[in-house]
């Protein structure tokens, strides 16, 4: 089992880091007391594959006493076990953390009537300095974009397809509305409609006669050539930017013939380009 302790300065990016680790397959637990973490680790070691990778967010709010003593003792005990345990420390410059708190208007955990924000930030940095020294990985998010943070975590903790993008291609009918999660929408209502061919009306774009009809027109093949070029160009850039799922929606009038045939072709194209693809046909059985 792999355990990652995610800690660091308040406002340093722990929550974002935890979200990215969750996307990478880690089971996330936030603010669990140190006494419970050891029991939880023991439970996970004998549990299901769901707990093979665990990330535990631990910060100054969690500690019952001196966080330096609690966290150093915790790390020591976890590293004595058979589990693969490491610590990720998120930090940022003081002025950057001050700016983030002013933007979010949240209260720093050490801030009170006698301790203003800037003093609370500096005090926490001093308290956590020994913890930072214990960390296996220190990431400074002062001038890091979210996509850069994601890439950094993939470089540190990634395995296999952690950085890969999944492309979801969905056919739909405009008469039923555009899918809400669409990133890219292609309107193929300019193509000849098989609905008006009596022997094709009862079939769908997944049936060979309809697909042969749709692709018998030169404009369909020209359209697909442009789509292939667009995907070959843009998918690596979406992946580099850190997008994990890209939703492509292809629409015709009813979502049964043209959009279904083109969606199937686009899904095949995405697969040929080497990406994981999901093919869906939202409205294929509507209006029968």
User: How confident is the model over 202-214, as pLDDT tens digits?
Assistant: 999 999 999 999 9
- pLDDT single digits (tens) 64-113: 567 777 878 888 888 777 668 899 999 999 999 999 998 888 888 888 87
**CB 54, CB 2: distance < 8 Å:** yes
Q: Give CA–CA dist 57/45, Å, rounded.
A: 18
Residue range 184-200, pLDDT digits in tens: 999 999 999 999 999 99
Contacts 24+ apart (CB under 8 A), 189-195: 189/251, 189/252, 189/253, 189/258, 190/219, 191/217, 191/219, 191/220, 191/223, 191/252, 191/258, 191/262, 192/217, 193/252, 193/253, 193/257, 193/258, 194/257, 194/258, 195/253, 195/254, 195/256, 195/257
Tell me the pLDDT tens digit for each residue of 212-244: 999 999 999 999 999 999 999 999 999 888 788
Find the Cα–Cα–Cα–Cα dihedral 200, 251, 260, 274, rounded to 10°.
150
pLDDT of residue 233: 97
Tell me which residue has tokens 């998010």: 141
pLDDT of residue 33: 79
pLDDT the model gives residue 51: 80
- pLDDT reported for residue 2: 86
In this structure, are residues 60 and 127 in contact, taking their beta carbons and an 8 Å threshold?
yes
Percent of the chain with pLDDT over 70: 94
Q: Is the separation of the CB atoms in 97 and 123 below 8 Å? A: no
For the stretch 241-267, pLDDT in tens is 878 889 999 999 999 999 999 999 999
- At residue 278, the pLDDT reads 92
pLDDT at position 125, please? 92
Torsion of CA 125, 127, 129, 132, to 10 degrees: -90
Q: What is the pLDDT of residue 280?
A: 94
CA separation for the pair 171, 235 (Å, rounded): 19
245-252 sheet: strands from edge to edge = 184-187, 245-252, 166-173, 276-281
Considering only residues 153 and 114, tell me which one the structure prediction assigns the higher pLDDT. 153
More confident residue, 231 or 149: 231
CA distance 46 to 52: 10
pLDDT at 281 over 90: yes
What's the confidence (pLDDT) of residue 47? 64
Delineate the domains of the chain, giving CATH numbers in brackets: 2-157 (3.40.50.300), 166-281 (no CATH)
């Amino acid at each position: 089992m792999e355990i990652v302790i995610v800690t660091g300065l308040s406002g340093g990016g722990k929550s974002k880091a935890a979200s990215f680790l969750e996307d990478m397959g880690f089971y996330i637990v936030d603010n669990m007391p140190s006494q419970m973490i050891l029991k939880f680790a023991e439970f996970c070691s004998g549990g299901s594959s769901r707990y093979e990778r665990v990330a535990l967010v631990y910060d100054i709010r969690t500690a019952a006493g001196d966080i330096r003593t609690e966290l150093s003792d915790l790390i020591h005990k976890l590293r004595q076990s058979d589990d693969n345990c490491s610590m990720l420390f998120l930090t940022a410059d003081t002025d950057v953390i001050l700016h983030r708190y002013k933007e979010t208007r949240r209260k720093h955990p050490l801030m009170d009537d006698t301790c203003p924000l800037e003093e609370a930030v500096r005090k926490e940095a001093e308290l956590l300095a020994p913890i930072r020294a214990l960390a296996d990985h220190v990431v400074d998010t002062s001038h890091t974009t979210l996509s850069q943070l994601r890439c950094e975590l993939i470089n540190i903790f990634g395995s296999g397809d952690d950085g890969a993008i999944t492309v979801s291609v969905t056919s739909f009918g405009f008469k039923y509305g555009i899918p809400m999660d669409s990133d890219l929408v292609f309107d193929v209502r300019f193509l000849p409609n098989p609905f008006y061919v009596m022997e094709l009306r009862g079939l769908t774009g997944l049936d060979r006669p309809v697909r042969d009809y749709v692709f018998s027109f030169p404009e369909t093949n020209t359209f697909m050539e442009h789509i292939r070029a667009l995907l070959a160009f843009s998918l690596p850039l979406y992946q580099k930017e850190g997008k994990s799922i890209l939703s492509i929606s292809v629409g015709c009038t009813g979502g049964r013939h043209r959009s279904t045939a083109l969606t199937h072709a686009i899904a095949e194209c995405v697969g040929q380009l080497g990406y994981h693809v999901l093919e869906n046909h939202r409205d294929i059985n509507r209006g029968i």
